[in-house]
Structure formats: C-alpha cells, structure tokens
Amino acid sequence: MKPLSIVQNLALKYAKYSLNRSLKTQLNLDILQNSKTKLPDPNINYMLYAHIPFCHTFCPYCSFHKYAYDENLAKEYFKNLRQEMKQIHTLGYKFNSMYVGGGTTLINEDELIKTLELAKKLFNIDEISCESDPSHIKPANLKRFKGLISRLSIGVQSFNDDILKRVGRYEKFGSSVDLVNKLKNAINILPVTSIDLIFNFPNQTKDMLLNDINLAKSIEAQQITFYPLMKSNLTKDKIASTLGNSYKDNEYEFYSIIEENFKDYHKNNAWSYAKEKSSLNDEYVSSKHEYLGIGSGGFSFLGGELFINAFNLNKYNEKIQNQQSSVIANCKFSSKERVKYLFLTEIFSGFIDIDKFNQTNNINLYKTLNLELNLLRLVGAIKIQNNHIESTQFGRYLWLSLMKEFYIGMDKVRAIFKDDAKLKNSSKINVIKSQI
C-alpha cells in the first residue's frame, strides 16, 4: 500500500477545510416560534425517514439522539409517530422508500410492526430499511417482519472481545463467538442483511482489523459496512475514557486494507460493500436527495432547506397531539452549496451520470462546480469519461473523509438541540460557531 502523496494530503486537508467553511456559512438555523409546515412537490417521490430514539445501551462513540428505553414512553411515542404519518399523508407526500433509524429500531417489535404496516398502507412504499443491535435478531422475531423490512442493518461494531468489553457491549450482546452465531442464524430471513462495523478504534491493530474483516465475510451477509470511527465534541471524551487515545492515525492504511479485502464485492458507496448490487444500502442520502424526517430529532432535506424536528420528547409528543408540525428550526442553503451537497452525497456512491444529475436537479454541474471538478481530476480523485464521473480509490477515501466531517458537523446540531432550555432564548443559531 502506497501512502498518500503530498498532493493528495494537501487535497484532503483543503477539502475538509472547504467543507467546514461551507457548514460554517450555511448552518445558520432559524429557531421557529410558530409551527412551520413544508408542503410537498407533487412531482417528487420522497424518502421517509423515521427516528426511534430509544436504546438499552449507550455506546461511547454514538452521538445519535436517544433516550433510555421505557416501555410506556415508547408506546406513547410510537402512537404519536403514526399520527405524524397520517398528518403528512394528508399534506400529500408520496414515498417509495423508508428508512427507520435510531436508536434501536426493533426495541419494541409490536409497536414497530404497527408503524411499518401503517406506512405501507398510507404510502406507496416498496423498500424499508431498519437498524438493529445484536439482541433483537432472534430468528423467530425477525420472521415477524417478513414482507415489511427489506433490509436490516445490524450494528456489531467489532468482533474483538477487548473492544466489546471496553465499550460495554460484551455483557449486553455477547462475545465474538456469540455474535458470529447470532448473525449466522439471522442471515437470509429478510431479503438483505447488513453487518455494520467500525474501524480505526484507538489502539486497534492491523491484525484486529483483518480478524473483523474475515469474521464478517465468513457470516455470508449480503452487505458489510465499515464506518470510520467518528470523534466529535459529543463523543471524544467518552471514547478516550473507554478506549484510550490514539497516537497514530491509521485511518487511510486501514481503509486501504478494507478496500483490498473487498475487491470481490460490489461497492455500494465509499464504506459499504455488497455481494450483489442493490439500491438498498446504509447511506440513504447518497441516492435519496429529498427526504422527510418524522419523529423526535428527525432531519428533513427538502428543496434545498434543512428542517429539524423537536428533540425534546415531551415537546414532540405535545406538537403531534395538537396537530402541529414537529419542525422547530430550519435553514436554507445557497444554490451552489446545495449543488455541492448533492454532488458529495451522490459521488459517495462512486459514480455520477452527469446528464441524469443535471436533469434531476435542474442544474449544469460543469458550470456550477467547474473549478472543483478540475481540481478533483488533477489530484486523481475522479475520472471523467463519456459524461460520467467515476471515483478512484483515493477518491473513495476522500468521500469517506468528507462524509465523516459532514456527520461530525451534524453532531454539533444535535448537541445544540438536545439542550432545549437554551433554545428558548434564541431566534437564530450558527451551529459551527455556537458554543452552547
């Protein structure tokens, strides 16, 4: 494996700087004092995202919006989530796919089944992806979701017993041997099963990574995803206290090892690999540019605007019960920043048909991002032939790094909106500059 060249290192640093500058200028959020409803474009088939903010176990590297599971609280929440679905159905939204994230989405199976059945009844939904942890994948339970869940993503994170013990997952979900047995029994019950792993843990060695790769492949899951460890202000101290600090960043070396070991797999995107090509993968934003989020802490991206739902569970429940929109904040991106966002999320999958991209988004990509495309080609991140853009291996690592930076930026959004008391005194917040 060749290390990054000086030019590639400079390109990587500049791309991260550019992304953070864009976030700094664009994430100026208006805190809404009154309810705001975004009406749908009748010509768009949106993706529906539903957030389930409950977990039994809080992992130190996870920054997602979540609450400790309480059965009564969860039942009330699911009831309101279904009510919110009915509200957006009345507005005229159309969806052909749905992604259920969290949290642990299968944490209350009866309530989730009611919710998915209602989604299929109300909307023309063909594909539903859900996430789970290893404690909710017993074959008898998964069989209940036949005909509902198209793709199940199981958060394993590591097969190393020491890492599992340090992050509190060993006692909860079992040893490496236990995990492999659970996963093998869960495969092929639902159409697509994905195993999610994290790489570049502090003090993770090359041999530990290779063991994760080999065990994951031995399970014969349809998809395997390797996320880079993401450290934000919400997680860095917890990661350091449980896993220690890294004195060497192995991210690029480890990513190259992952790429080499998955040459025989189809690349869904920069960090996901599949035995066969499928539209179902972990990063819905790479193929679904317009999506509506429902539930506490849900995000929506509609027509170049970001919308944020109430994080506080009581506030969310109250809004839905009063037949109000759950949205409490929004911001609008400039036309060029919107194109940059669309470009990143689509090139993340490794390929862009320029004519199709232009037609879908009503833009001229060459004109809008002429400088950026030339620089990317110059540093060897992309190849442009026959009006198609294709990522190189360095390009895939670049997209992985930028997507990681983007999600770290969104962690700052979560950090702000989790503190509901401080929002009451604000009318506008720049997320990146904010100290709250």
| pLDDT band, very low/low/confident/very high, at 436 (cuts 50, 70, 90) | very low
Strand pairing report for 127-132 and 151-157? parallel
Q: What is the largest distance, in Å, between two alpha-carbon atoms of the chain?
A: 59
Query: CATH second-level architecture of 1-28+334-436?
Result: Orthogonal Bundle (1.10)
Torsion sign across C-alpha atoms 270, 15, 330, 357? negative
For the ranges 331-335, 411-415, 421-425, the maximum mean pLDDT occurs at 331-335
Range list of β-strands (E), 237-377: 266-269, 272-274, 291-294, 299-302, 305-309, 327-332, 351-353
Return the pLDDT at 277: 76
Return the pLDDT at 285: 62
Over residues 309-327, the mean pLDDT reads 93
pLDDT tens string 43-83: 888 899 999 988 887 777 776 778 888 899 999 999 999 99
Return the pLDDT at 239: 79
Return the pLDDT at 153: 94
pLDDT tens string 373-414: 999 999 999 999 999 999 999 999 999 999 998 888 877 777
Measured distance CA(383)–CA(385) in Å, rounded: 7
According to CATH, where is 3.20.20.70 located in the chain? 46-286
**pLDDT over 60 (residue 341):** yes
Could you give the percent of the chain with pLDDT greater than 90? Answer: 60
**pLDDT over 50 (residue 185):** yes
Alpha helices (runs of H) in 149-278, residue ranges in sequence order: 161-166, 170-173, 176-186, 206-218, 236-243, 251-261
pLDDT tens string 225-267: 999 998 877 777 777 788 888 778 899 999 999 999 999 999 9
Q: Which residue has the tokens 């709250």?
A: 436
> What CATH number was assigned to the domain covering residues 46-286?
3.20.20.70
Number of H helices, E strands in the chain: 17, 19
pLDDT higher for 34 or 262? 262
Measured distance CA(71)–CA(306) in Å, rounded: 31
Return the pLDDT at 218: 96
According to CATH, where is 1.10.10.920 located in the chain? 1-28+334-436
Q: Are 48 and 95 in contact (CB under 8 A)?
A: yes
Over residues 94-106, the mean pLDDT reads 87
Over residues 403-430, the mean pLDDT reads 72
pLDDT tens string 263-316: 999 999 999 999 987 666 565 666 678 899 999 999 999 988 899 999 999 999
Over residues 345-355, the mean pLDDT reads 92
Return the pLDDT at 48: 95
Return the pLDDT at 435: 47
| Among 276, 169, 277, CA closest to 220 | 276
**pLDDT over 80 (residue 424):** no
Over residues 131-148, the mean pLDDT reads 94
pLDDT, averaged across the chain: 88
pLDDT tens string 58-69: 777 776 778 888
Residue 114's Cβ-count burial label (10 Å; 0-12, 13-18, 19+) is middle
Q: Which residue has the tokens 């864009």?
A: 22
